[in-house]
Structure 1
Amino acid sequence: MARVLVGVKRVIDYAVKIRVKPDKSGVVTDGVKHSMNPFDEIAVEEAVRLKEQKIANEIIAVSCGPQQSQDVLRTALAMGADKAIHVEVAGAEYETLQPIHVSKILAKIAQNEKVDLVIVGKQAIDDDCNQTAQMTAGFLDWPQATYASKIEKKDDHIVVKREIDGGLETIKCKIPAVISADLRLNEPRYATLPNIMKAKKKPLTKITPKDLGVDVSPRIQIVKVEEPPVRQAGSIIPDVDTLVTKLKEKGHA
């Protein structure tokens, strides 16, 4: 029976239109709807399914961020996680928190909690970094199975079908291992009202990176955040000759 650590991130909801702050220092987050990163929902769902199959016996959800990150941890608990750890990082420190910091935090907690599997979403929809799983595996010196679209447990290892550019690749991984969840791994369940109520009674521990001995000093400086340029409206071309002429003109412009 395995212990599973799942990383969950609080991000601006996927349905919200992102707005840049007037001073171009970042994006507007105040008063904006946030939710759990969709790929992390898939990671939680997979951990819960492993528990339902009696492969896992405990699920620990972890989130790094401000006080509001506890919202996504409660969602993970309502979905089926057993306990949660909130690593509080707020203010300017959170603005410059990078995957390398989060990976060190997850690796440290994985060691402290003696887990067998770390499952995270393949990437967060706000920064699209797609680095946390890989670096966590590096810090732990564990095998990694990224972009997982199917996971099966066999004896002392797991078999993971992963999505790559050329199609599907099947790999065998020794346990302990780090997995990142792809879109087609599963369909996350909705948290039911009774489970949301039960989640309030499940343990949620609050710690800091300092408690884990992790330095979250900024490695980057945000110089400027800008919206992408507005696309110019298209035009209807009457025939191929006009199209060729316009392409030539554009090429010399």
Structure 2
Amino acid sequence: METFESEDYMTVVVAYKYAANPQDASVDASGAIDWTRAKPEISEYDPVAIQLGRNVADAQDTELVGISAGTSALTHKMATRNALSKGLDRALLFGQDGVDSWSSTKVASALASLVGQIEGADLLITGDSSIDDGAKMMSAITAGFLGWPCFQEVTALEKTDDGYSITQSVPGGTRTVAVTGPVVVAATPEAVSAKNPSMKEMLAAAKKPVATVQEADLELVEAPVAVTGTAKPESKIRKNVLLNGPDAANQLVAALRADGVL
């Protein structure tokens, strides 16, 4: 395993996912998803996380390290250059075929192990969700393995003398939390504007260091999940009820309540 020297300062880490785009997937008559034509790419929410990490790393003059766990496609040159060109200084990756069938818990344990191998890591940033599963659980589960607090729906993040100032979207507005010590945050798509890499940045990405680890280097937690069945959503017959007149709004509310929608 390749290792890197690190200075005595805090390190910002961003977890990204290299996964198949569901826009290219199809669903058969049984409801099963066919991913064979779907090309893998960086999850659409992750460039925001990388840009936010870049801003925070630049503010404290430290490095930004990307981590990921996925299939062997993750470690191909085009995939690593794509990720590095978005603002990462280096990457630490675990790529192995079959990882796409792992449970979220097992993947999170792999990510936590990768964070543990980065000297000085005190901040882990993730995207709001992943392009394929979209469960919004990875940040919280990884934080659990690390023993760090986790904040989701983060719209702004700044380094302070004692830690980080986190602005979080909550029902009815926002709140700002002061955090000391290491922390995991999941950035909303609106947190920053992700920049498109320039040709210079894409060329420079080819020279940035990438290290890979083996499964034996990770502390994995098994949490098997089995799919017991698939089915398309049940088709419902439209009622074709027309509501009109000055009391139409009240009629609609009453109808929705009768159907258990409200």
> Which TM-score tier does this pair reach, normalised by the shorter chain?
0.7 to 0.9
Instruction: Give the secondary-structure state (helix, strand or coil) at the position aligned to 1:100.
Output: helix
1:208 pairs, out of 205, 208, 214, with 214
**Aligned partners of 2:45 and 2:129 also within 8 Å:** yes
**1:218 shift after superposition:** 5.0
Residue 88 (structure 1) aligned with residue 63 (structure 2): no
Instruction: Give the secondary-structure state (helix, strand or coil) at the position aligned to 1:116.
Output: strand
Match runs of 1:175-214 below 5 Å: 175-214=181-220
What amino acid is the match of 1:47? G
Instruction: Give the secondary-structure state (helix, strand or coil) at the position aligned to 2:202.
Output: helix
Aligned CA distance change for structure 1 residues 233 and 193 (closer, same or farther; 3 Å): farther
1:5 pairs, out of 8, 13, 25, with 13
1:76 pairs, out of 76, 83, 108, with 83
CA distance in structure 1 between the partners assigned to 2:16 and 2:140 by the alignment: 16
Counterpart for residue 72 of structure 2: 67
What amino acid is the match of 1:3? T
Give the TM-score, by structure 1 length.
0.83
Identity of aligned residues (%): 21
Match runs of 1:139-178 below 5 Å: 139-178=145-184
Report how many residues are paired.
244
CA distance in structure 1 between the partners assigned to 2:232 and 2:49 by the alignment: 30
Match runs of 1:109-128 below 5 Å: 109-114=114-119, 115-128=121-134
Counterpart for residue 41 of structure 2: 35
CA distance in structure 1 between the partners assigned to 2:14 and 2:243 by the alignment: 56
Residue 105 (structure 1) aligned with residue 110 (structure 2): yes
**Aligned partners of 2:91 and 2:211 also within 8 Å:** yes
Instruction: Give the secondary-structure state (helix, strand or coil) at the position aligned to 2:62.
Output: strand
CA distance in structure 2 between the partners assigned to 1:229 and 1:134 by the alignment: 32
Counterpart for residue 136 of structure 2: 130
Give a deviation string over 1:152-202, Cα, whole Å, max 9, x none: 111021111101223211111113211111121111111222211221222
**Aligned partners of 1:143 and 1:178 also within 8 Å:** yes
Aligned CA distance change for structure 1 residues 22 and 231 (closer, same or farther; 3 Å): closer
CA distance in structure 1 between the partners assigned to 2:188 and 2:16 by the alignment: 14
What amino acid is the match of 2:225? I
Aligned CA distance change for structure 1 residues 78 and 231 (closer, same or farther; 3 Å): farther
**Aligned partners of 2:11 and 2:57 also within 8 Å:** no
**Aligned partners of 2:130 and 2:136 also within 8 Å:** yes
**Aligned partners of 1:20 and 1:225 also within 8 Å:** no
CA distance in structure 2 between the partners assigned to 1:139 and 1:133 by the alignment: 10
- Structure having the higher helix fraction is 1
CA distance in structure 2 between the partners assigned to 1:63 and 1:210 by the alignment: 16
Give the TM-score, by structure 2 length.
0.80
Structure 1 unaligned residues grouped into runs of 5+: none
CA distance in structure 1 between the partners assigned to 2:92 and 2:223 by the alignment: 23
**Aligned partners of 2:14 and 2:67 also within 8 Å:** yes
CA distance in structure 2 between the partners assigned to 1:142 and 1:64 by the alignment: 20
Query: Which 10-residue stretch deviates more, 160-169 or 68-77?
Result: 68-77
What amino acid is the match of 2:87? G
Query: Which 10-residue stretch deviates more, 202-211 or 110-119?
Result: 202-211
- RMSD after superposition: 3.0
